[in-house]
Structure 1
Amino acid sequence: MSSDADQVEGGFSSNSEHIRPHQTEAGGDDVKSQKKPNMTEVYKSNLRKKFECLCEGTSHERIPTLLNEIYTELYITESESGEISNEHEVRQIERQSRRTATEDTPIKCNDIFKALPAQDKPIRRVLTKGVAGIGKTVSVQKFILDWAEGKENQDVHLIFPLPFREINLMKNQTLSLLHLLHLFFPETKEMEISSGEYKVLFIFDGLDECRVSLDFHSSVRLCDVIESASVDVILTNLMAGNLLPSALIWITSRPAAADLIPSECVDRVTEVRGFTDKQKEEYFSKRISDESLNHRIISHLKSSRSLYIMCHIPVFCWISATVLERMLSEAESEGEIPKSLTQMYTHFLIIQTHIKLQKDYEKKEQNDEDMIFKLGKLAFEQLVKGNVIFYDEDLRECGIDVAEASVYSGLCTQIFREEFGWYQGKVYCFLHLTIQEHLAALYAHISFINNNTDVFNTTTQLTQGEKLSVSVMLQRAKDKLSICDLHQRAVDEALQSKNGHLDLFLRFLLGLSLESNQNVLQGFMTQTVRSSHSNEKTVEYIKKNIKSTRSPEKFINLFHCLNELGYRSIVKEIQHHLKSGALSEVKLSSSQWSAVAFVLLTSQQELHEFKLKEFVQQNKAENLKVLKKLLPVICESRSVQLSYCKITDEGCAALSSALRSNPSHLRDLNLSENKLGDSGLKQISTVLENPHCKLEKLGLWMCNITAEGCVALTSALRSNPSHLRDLDLSGNDVGDSGVKLIATVLKNPLSLKSNPSHLTHLNLSGNNIGDSGLKLLSDLKDDPHYKLETVW
């Protein structure tokens, strides 16, 4: 971080004489230093009052909760090479949930401006990205509160929090930076904030909510804090370093919008990560007081991997707890327990509207169907535009009376919220991006079922720049639609989206056509539709697009869509397309392979056998990367076939690390014809010695193993001798000494006592075994106390 001296020299200078540092006579600086603490302490006190509480509950019944009492330190990491991801947020959640801590460089929230030991460049501008609901805004709030309470970052004199959702309200104004700050923070009028005496931090929270055009290529250069300009010019010049070049800048954003800031304007990119598996369980244990019910909820979530992975984000944990606490309790045990995202969100919506009916609000004439339909229209139209924050004019365009907005917010506070800004006006948002996507899909589905309307044809009021590829859809409009037509149009729209903003909308839309969700939604529809035949046509349409797409991200999402439709042959389809070269023109990245793993894990098919060769083509150099990314799948498979895959001791290290965390599924592991060596076998032996390991068959043919490797292997078998039945060590070089070690284990009385049947098949052919070794093997085979059936 820059020193205070750097801040003075760095040029908090201005062309305006009256805001330059005061030129005082002897003793003048002392007088000024006495004033500054008083002003900054007043400012800190005001910020502390604004940020010390979180408000929960409805807009009518806000319950303040002290942030310091409930805040849990979030896991923040320095992002790899500062890369920006354009994949859909749900896929990023899936990817993050599979990353290990060793892949990340952790950074405490209060240290984001401090350089790491290996970094000698000052960190002035930080971009923090993270999916919706992951905790970016709460991190900002805690950072400011710790500063205001005098706990952290006391070298910073002033922090200016400027959320984009409120800056949007000023997007058409022309003013100076100094005037803007005085509007938001009136108490700063007496401070000479550009004088160089103040080290300042600007926090711009929610870049993804920005409706101000940020043109970093504009020729308009702004260097004076009292020079008037448009808000976008002020922001870009501040971030680019032309205006207050030594000010610290912190920007938070959802990943899809993070590339709005050029890389040259960012010194560090950090990423807010979500709950670990342990933290998920901690959350539910705190949220659900009934221990038995809590156990049932966690068990159900673990049985549906797609739901358990989504619990990576805190807000989804709350959604799941809300739904499952009600549905798994004895009084509410009827109905199918949600196993997919669409089911979970649909039940959540029904529960929230049911709760609303029990409340006594004045406007009872507002019916559920009309309210949800209007909110769905808002969700859809703003999703198409890429907006997650809405204003009065947005509500009016969807037929929502602004005067009723507070009623909507009060009735559906857990779905739609009204918030009052610090400066002026009100803003609206859905509780989470996925809720907006689900409501948008519900609106599209209901519009078709009730009115045979294609919602893509109702977006003609959008500007040309906002329509994306809607014109293509308009050309295909028909007088009478089938639900398959709607699905195909949605598929086309999602495929043409550059940042995947319609991917989850598409999954929800397809999921809503299933009978289980149709039954839940009966109250919202005037009629029902039998969609089994249409869904079959949709499946074929998706499979056709899988064959033609060359985008790995679209390729993966289409498989998610098949899964949402209940298609049962996803694993075979993935293997077929990968082996046939469906992606021959595009190499899958690490994150995309993680997505493949997720699709396999959530395919609702029990994973019996995993063959790495089914997922790679001719490029064997990719094997190690693919192996690492598919480890979650391997951990859930009973048979793992890795022969002839050029796996070395490095691959064994990754494999054994994964299997140690979950060794109970595996029954058959074949590593034959790989150059594991003794070091690789030592890694695998750490899995075998795990008391939860139930491996029955181990293939190590032609793996460059010597007697040294047998030491680790036999040690593991002595620790956990109960399960291994078939051991193939042929084609190695274990020699007599290796045979002696194995025979010693087999003769161990403790081994016989714990498992009388023990090893039944042992292959040691091609190991240069001498006479003494052969005699030991012969004795083992002929001894009636042992169960060896075959010995080579």
Structure 2
Amino acid sequence: MQTLEKYTFSEQSMDTRGTFKGRHMSSNMICDSHLVQNTFKSNLLKKFQCVYEGTAKQGNPTLLNEIYTELYITESESGEINNEHEVRQIETLSRRAETEDTPIKCNDIFRPLPGQDKPIRTVLTKGVAGIGKTVSVQKFIVDWAEGKENQDVQLIFPLPFREINLMKDKTLSLSDLLHVFLPETKEMEISSDEYKVLFIFDGLDECRLSLNRQSEVKLCDISASASVDELLMNLIEGNLLPSALIWITSRPAAADLVPSECVHRVTEVRGFNEPQKEEYFRKRISDQSLANTIITHLKSSRSLHIMCHIPVFCWISATVLEEMLSEAERGEIPKTLTQMYTHFLIIQTNIKHEKDYEKRVKDEDMIFNLGKLAFQQLVKGNLIFYEEDLRECGIDVTEASVYSGLCTQIFREELGLYEGKVFCFVHLSIQEHLAALYAHIHFTNENRNVFDKTKQSLFSKILNQMKYHSLSKLHQRAVDEALQSKNGHLDLFLRFLLGLSLESNQTLLRELLTQTGSCSYNKERTVQYIKQKIRENRSPERSINLFHCLNELGEDSLMQEIQDYLKSGKIGGTKLSSSQWSALVYVLLTSEQNMDVFDLDQFIGAQNTAGEVLQKLQPVVKESRSVQLWDCGVTDEGCAALTSALRSNPSHLRELDLSENKVGDSGVKQLSDLLQDPHCKLEILRLRDCGVTDEGCAALTSALRSNPSHLRDLNLSWNKVGDSGVKLLSDLLQDPHCKLEILRLRDCGVTDVSCAALTSALRSNPSHLRKLDLSLNKVGDSGVKQFSDLLQDPHCKLEKLWLSDCGVTDEGCAALTSALRSNPSHLRQLDLSLNEVGDSRVKQLSDLLQDTHCKLEKLMLRDCGVTDEGCAALTSALRSNPSHLRELDLSWNKVGDSGVKQLSDLLQDPHCKLEKLELIDCGVTDEGCAALTSALRSNPSHLRELSLYGNKLRDSDVKPLSVLKEDPHYKLDTLEF
């Protein structure tokens, strides 16, 4: 064990501004103050430096820093509360791509992210049970006490709610409260002028105080007395010690107990991501070969692998699998949750047998009583219990403490008059397993249903024995009870209850229980009942747990059927029943491949319309980062189903493509409601050819103005947006919060009138837009001139500009090249196809290309009236600055063999990096083809694509090029002729 003497504390890390005991500090007093603070740090380090991973504080603890694995913590939206069962939340978190948010280390919990300039006083950290909130707090304290992190904080006061509960009826001051929990503070005068202090309130969900927000008691003096809940609310609201930092941890369901206006940052602990899972097992298990075997086994079971996002479940799995895989005769390795938890129960019982204590209660009686406690408190929604709760279930406190892995006991002997004991199971899932075990034993041994609450007469008992003669009847009742739960609090209980009925788990139970009752059981009857409920249930999401139940029973016929459909690619042509839709949702959400991209096209067909698929697969849609609905027959009705799904989880979606659907203005208006949701983080929106007019554009831009900072890519091409719609978009673009980088308005009815509004907006906010497509619009020379003024603005960072078929003549081209010469370093791609450019303007472009600051990589001049004369100027310029251009398109120009020969001279230049050359219908003959072949032989390493389609070439003319394409020494991948 590492000793405290090893740690030293730097005096430079201590603040010497304040007073000690309210008096001016002499040098001796300052030394005394440092001594007090050092002692305080040492005591906290001694208390928090070890981790006990769910067991009581006995035996050989492990140093936290030896086993600590960084957790995945992200910043969350305040007020975002989720009341689903926590295992459902874990399954959701396991499907989220971890790149969607910026991770925050626990030591940085009070440090603003880049771009955040407001100070953070109060942090609320959410996370499901066992996900690592308390360990994060412990790590923060240990690193601070060792002098490694957050040394601007002089004092940290950890005050867990489960311990504060013991004083809920007391009246005292904040100073008194601290003196009780942390006696060292008696030597300190705690005030905001003296120390920068941090209060940590761990476990808000365990709070049994009222935390009354409406209380009229306002406290400013830490020596003023009040009830404990009034003290805490005044501290949280900033009346007491307004400069003190506050850190509160909570399970999600209780997070709204703290007023949102008092919270400056909400973070979410998501447990372990994929690399962190493996890191934990490699740290936890010294034998790396065994660790690899365990990791491989857990990955083979989706339900087990999902649960490994919870650090406590990793500990349970490591405890079970390390013992089983280390033994010569190890039996069947757990593959389901029920098997894993039953093995864990056996191991904990064996740990008890190894301890030296006087045995007064039989194992099965203690397990039964713990199960009774677990079930009763689960139904009530309680996660922590006190001595009276244990006594009601016939549990002796001293006996319960022996089962250290099942029931954690906290003794606060230093509290004196306030000494008390608090109990909880180390994780909610353990409570649910024991509750299910109690329900199973209660039925098999006494033929009684735990859901029957009334006291039974003899006649009722006889009736119940007839009613519940089969275990299937209990299962059916449990299924009904679970489906009626609003927050799914019996979901995992149901999985365990069904799993315990399997013969393999019955065999395990006989290792625990000397007497096990028996009753008739028809597994198929339970399976059919669950399938019936799946068929009746209108919400596929509510059916997901029922599929987990089928998995626990080893019944996977429906899932296998759906997987076969998916593999065959025929799912779109298959008429699915409601139960098959539910199975499809389950398979997609629990598959090994994360459903980050939802492509509607693979599910629709003759039997399934877009609207029906979107309605049935809502749970999948809302978990996808990218939703691809291109040309899928989506109407405004389908849009309604889509937005309904996305509204329940708007922060996850990053890309939405609805191109070439009959969405119309009404559909766009529904999407606009989603876009203005402050939680919406959509970055890419494609609405190409969706029947959008200026009316839909108005709704869209209004929504984006209220939430403009996330959208990066907007495609409205081939819609009747018109000048009025473009003017609305222009208002959006000049918003300083708008970060739009790509705007596509191809064939949208844009004229020089709306061009003026667009360029004016971009001049006021020019630094973000990178790509602009105005092709197939009547922009004309006047519109191009306005864009030219924008392009020569030094703040303009436009990289790609498409002006194909925009009515540009030599006048507009002259203005464009002049502007680009004054600011040539940003533009990477220019498309002037189908405009009257001609040789004279190509020569001007050539002057631009030979500028060493020009970084143009792609130039498209299709059907621009270019001849061999223009080609000569172009190739001459590129020879003087050949290293940047990667793609050149001269298709449908009268280039001829002479122009091609000049291009060939360029291609054989060793500095030329051209990768794609398009010469479609350019009047090339065998002579030009031979020149190209010769050039590529002398410089074979760069050109990847060559298109000679539509030229007067015979097979014999292109055969030498074909030979080059087949030769591995050449890079020519694509040859079209």
After TM superposition, the score normalised by the length of structure 2 is: 0.56
Q: Which moved more, 1:207-216 or 1:439-448?
A: 207-216
Distance 1:275 1:493 in 2: 32
Deviation at 1:428, TM superposition (A): 2.2
Distance 1:405 1:234 in 2: 34
Checking the alignment, whether the CA contact within 8 Å between 2:479 and 2:530 is kept in structure 1 is: no
Matches within 5 A, 1:247-646: 247-290=244-287, 292-329=289-326, 331-334=328-331, 336-357=332-353, 359=354, 361-364=356-359, 366-406=361-401, 409=402, 412-421=403-412, 423=415, 424-458=419-453, 480-481=467-468, 482-523=470-511, 524=513, 525-547=516-538, 554-571=542-559, 597-600=588-591, 611-613=602-604, 617-618=610-611, 629=623, 644=632
Q: Which moved more, 1:425-434 or 1:563-572?
A: 563-572
Distance 1:40 1:346 in 2: 47
Distance 2:196 2:166 in 1: 27
Checking the alignment, whether the CA contact within 8 Å between 1:88 and 1:256 is kept in structure 2 is: no
Deviation at 1:160, TM superposition (A): 0.9
Alignment RMSD (CA, Å)? 5.0
Matches within 5 A, 1:606-755: 611-613=602-604, 617-618=610-611, 629=623, 644=632
How has the CA–CA distance of structure 1 residues 643 and 161 changed in structure 2, closer, same or farther, with 3 Å as cutoff? same
Matches within 5 A, 1:59-138: 59=56, 61-81=58-78, 83-138=80-135
How has the CA–CA distance of structure 1 residues 285 and 108 changed in structure 2, closer, same or farther, with 3 Å as cutoff? closer
Distance 1:113 1:447 in 2: 50
Q: Give the one of 44, 47, 57 matched to 2:44.
A: 47
Distance 1:734 1:307 in 2: 58
Matches within 5 A, 1:183-194: 183-194=180-191
Q: 1:374-430 CA deviation, whole Å, 9 max, x = no partner? A: 111111112222222222111101100223233xx2xx3222222323532222222
Distance 1:353 1:616 in 2: 56
Q: Secondary structure at the match of 1:331?
A: coil
Letter in 2 for 1:178: S
Q: Secondary structure at the match of 1:152?
A: coil
Distance 2:292 2:588 in 1: 27
How has the CA–CA distance of structure 1 residues 35 and 353 changed in structure 2, closer, same or farther, with 3 Å as cutoff? closer
Letter in 1 for 2:84: E
Q: Give the one of 106, 131, 138 matched to 1:141.
A: 138
Distance 1:579 1:496 in 2: 29
How has the CA–CA distance of structure 1 residues 345 and 405 changed in structure 2, closer, same or farther, with 3 Å as cutoff? closer
Deviation at 1:438, TM superposition (A): 0.8
Checking the alignment, whether the CA contact within 8 Å between 1:204 and 1:251 is kept in structure 2 is: yes
* Residue of structure 2 equivalent to 1:464: none
Q: Secondary structure at the match of 1:216?
A: coil
Distance 1:136 1:460 in 2: 41
Distance 2:948 2:138 in 1: 69
Q: 1:181-207 CA deviation, whole Å, 9 max, x = no partner? A: 111112212322136322221101111
Q: Secondary structure at the match of 2:611?
A: coil
Distance 2:433 2:921 in 1: 66
* Residue of structure 1 equivalent to 2:753: none
Deviation at 1:288, TM superposition (A): 4.4
How has the CA–CA distance of structure 1 residues 42 and 509 changed in structure 2, closer, same or farther, with 3 Å as cutoff? same
Q: Which runs of 5+ in 2 are unaligned?
A: 1-14, 564-570, 595-599, 635-652, 658-688, 691-714, 718-741, 743-857, 861-885, 888-917, 923-946, 967-975
Q: 1:646-687 CA deviation, whole Å, 9 max, x = no partner? A: 9x99679xxxxxxxxxxxxxxxxxxxx999x9x9xxxxxxxx
Distance 2:578 2:196 in 1: 55
Letter in 1 for 2:467: K
Checking the alignment, whether the CA contact within 8 Å between 2:206 and 2:383 is kept in structure 1 is: yes
How has the CA–CA distance of structure 1 residues 84 and 644 changed in structure 2, closer, same or farther, with 3 Å as cutoff? same
Checking the alignment, whether the CA contact within 8 Å between 2:472 and 2:523 is kept in structure 1 is: no
Deviation at 1:775, TM superposition (A): 5.3
Q: Give the one of 138, 143, 149 matched to 1:152.
A: 149
Deviation at 1:227, TM superposition (A): 3.0
Q: 1:80-106 CA deviation, whole Å, 9 max, x = no partner? A: 455222222222222222333321122
* Residue of structure 1 equivalent to 2:808: none
Q: Which runs of 5+ in 1 are unaligned?
A: 1-6, 13-18, 462-473, 604-608, 635-639, 653-672, 680-705, 713-732, 738-766
Deviation at 1:269, TM superposition (A): 0.9
Q: How many pairs are equivalent?
A: 631
Distance 1:30 1:355 in 2: 55
Distance 1:649 1:773 in 2: 47
Checking the alignment, whether the CA contact within 8 Å between 1:380 and 1:436 is kept in structure 2 is: yes
Distance 2:40 2:282 in 1: 39
Deviation at 1:77, TM superposition (A): 1.5
Letter in 1 for 2:275: K
Checking the alignment, whether the CA contact within 8 Å between 2:109 and 2:123 is kept in structure 1 is: yes
Q: Secondary structure at the match of 2:436?
A: helix
Distance 1:774 1:495 in 2: 72
Deviation at 1:544, TM superposition (A): 4.7
* Residue of structure 1 equivalent to 2:774: none
Deviation at 1:241, TM superposition (A): 2.3
Q: Which moved more, 1:367-376 or 1:312-321?
A: 312-321
Checking the alignment, whether the CA contact within 8 Å between 2:133 and 2:249 is kept in structure 1 is: yes
How has the CA–CA distance of structure 1 residues 617 and 213 changed in structure 2, closer, same or farther, with 3 Å as cutoff? farther
Checking the alignment, whether the CA contact within 8 Å between 2:471 and 2:521 is kept in structure 1 is: no
Q: Secondary structure at the match of 1:393?
A: helix
Checking the alignment, whether the CA contact within 8 Å between 2:373 and 2:390 is kept in structure 1 is: yes
Q: Secondary structure at the match of 1:143?
A: helix
Report the structure number with the largest CA radius of gyration: 2
Letter in 2 for 1:563: N
* Residue of structure 2 equivalent to 1:691: none
